Homo-oligomer: A and B are copies of this chain.
């Protein structure tokens, strides 16, 4: 696949990033390392919580989205990194083995004033469950190299 540049991500561009699911073992393994709260590491505590079951750490959902974004978008592009994320929202619990899909949509695309060889892409990323509910949403800013001339 040809390398994609800033010019390949205009406002309105969107892309399906594919599907994933998190098993109970994966949820607990991530959480033991990074977010060892009871509802993420202990199925019994999850059942007793307001969430009613073991649920994934929101950071696990975010990192899993990132993996699909790299596989589908950033990995074959002139990606130059990201200064950050706005409005990372965990809207619904993510439960073991539920099928999830991710999508990416460009909401703003402009060239950089400080680095004319870079462009700045603002995007909305979403993770959706089988009931078509958005379980996670974020707005990201990514830098991309501009397509070389000639």
Cβ of B58 and Cβ of A82 under 8 Å apart?
yes
Enumerate chain B residues within 8 angstroms of A51, measured Cβ to Cβ: 81
A81 to B57, CA, bound (A): 9
How many residues of A are counted as interface, with CB atoms below 8 angstroms from the partner's CB atoms? 32
A89 to B82, CA, bound (A): 9
The one of B34, B35, B86, B90 in contact with A83, judged by C-beta atoms closer than 8 angstroms, is B90
A70 within 8 A of B: yes
Enumerate chain B residues within 8 angstroms of A85, measured Cβ to Cβ: 85, 87-88
The one of B35, B66, B82 in contact with A66, judged by C-beta atoms closer than 8 angstroms, is B35
Enumerate chain B residues within 8 angstroms of A59, measured Cβ to Cβ: 59, 62-63, 66
Binds B, one of A5-13, A72-80, A96-104, A120-128: A72-80
Cβ of B35 and Cβ of A70 under 8 Å apart?
yes
Cβ of B34 and Cβ of A63 under 8 Å apart?
yes
The one of B37, B74, B84, B88 in contact with A75, judged by C-beta atoms closer than 8 angstroms, is B37
Question: Separation in Å of the A62 CB from the closest CB of chain B?
Answer: 6
